[in-house]
């Protein structure tokens, strides 16, 4: 799945969710995923599942998932990535990039489980991606911010509404609403001047 396709799909999902967002009750963090993680602590297939979702990634990614974040969050990441592979069949590059971003997010709020993350804590993480104008005069950080926002949005939709299918119908948890987006700037960021001097939208 290309990043451009990701943005287009996200826009469609937001258009659908905006129609029902006002009627979706504020979700209370449920222990469902956490309980599943606890039940999977002794899963004899866990190592195989972890190897599957981290295939192709650098070895430190797997090591950090096992030793730098809570076991519960590691299991949740593995479960989500397996669900993603079934639902959207992401490319290897996108899968590895997504796992890396989850690792950073979990490390940022270590040792808090994903089920207890609040809106402000999501904002705090996204704000940590900002860079001052002196360091990033082209505001390229906004592309990184938006990609992380979308990845986390899809994750929390799954975390709270895993049973809703198809995945495109999952509502946005109310605590995630009204988080600032940079969708337009994100698309502009991925325009690049080709060697022939013409603008072309990169298929990333």
Task: Summarize pLDDT for 66-119 with one digit per residue, the tens.
Answer: 999 999 999 999 999 999 999 999 999 999 999 999 999 999 999 999 999 999
- pLDDT over 60 (residue 174): yes
- pLDDT over 70 (residue 37): no
Q: Which residue would you say has higher pLDDT here, 204 or 165?
A: 165
pLDDT score at 183: 60
The proportion of the chain whose per-residue pLDDT surpasses 70, expressed as a percent, equals 70
Measure the CA angle with vertex 57, ends 56 and 58; round to 5°.
125
Q: How far apart are the first and last CA of the chain?
A: 8
Structure tokens, 121: 């804590």
- Give CA–CA dist 149/153, Å, rounded: 6
Residue 151: exposure state from Cβ atoms within 10 A (0-12, 13-18, ≥19): middle
Structure tokens, 4: 């451009």
- pLDDT over 70 (residue 189): no
pLDDT score at 13: 55
> DSSP class of residue 167?
G
pLDDT grade for 40, boundaries at 50, 70 and 90: low
Across residues 161-189, what is the average pLDDT? 80
- Give CA–CA dist 4/13, Å, rounded: 14
Cα dihedral 160, 204, 125, 130 sign: negative
């Amino acid at each position: 799945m290309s990043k451009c396709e990701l943005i287009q799909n996200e826009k469609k999902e937001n258009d659908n969710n905006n129609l029902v967002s006002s009627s979706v009750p504020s979700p209370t963090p449920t222990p469902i995923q956490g309980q599943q993680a606890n039940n999977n602590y002794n899963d004899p297939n866990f190592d195989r599942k972890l190897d599957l979702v981290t295939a192709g990634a650098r070895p430190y990614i797997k090591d950090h998932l096992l030793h730098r974040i809570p076991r519960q969050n590691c299991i949740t990441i593995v479960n989500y990535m397996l669900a993603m592979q079934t639902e959207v069949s992401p490319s290897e590059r996108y899968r590895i990039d997504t796992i890396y971003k989850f690792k950073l997010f979990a490390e940022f709020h270590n040792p808090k489980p994903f089920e207890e993350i609040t809106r402000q804590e999501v904002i705090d993480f996204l704000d940590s991606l900002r860079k001052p104008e002196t360091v990033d005069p082209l505001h390229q950080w906004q592309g990184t911010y938006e990609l992380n926002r979308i990845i986390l949005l899809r994750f929390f939709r799954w975390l709270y509404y895993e049973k809703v299918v198809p995945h495109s119908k999952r509502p946005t948890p109310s605590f995630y609403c009204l988080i600032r987006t940079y969708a337009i700037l994100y698309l502009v960021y991925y325009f690049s001047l080709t060697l022939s001097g013409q603008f072309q939208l990169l298929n990333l």
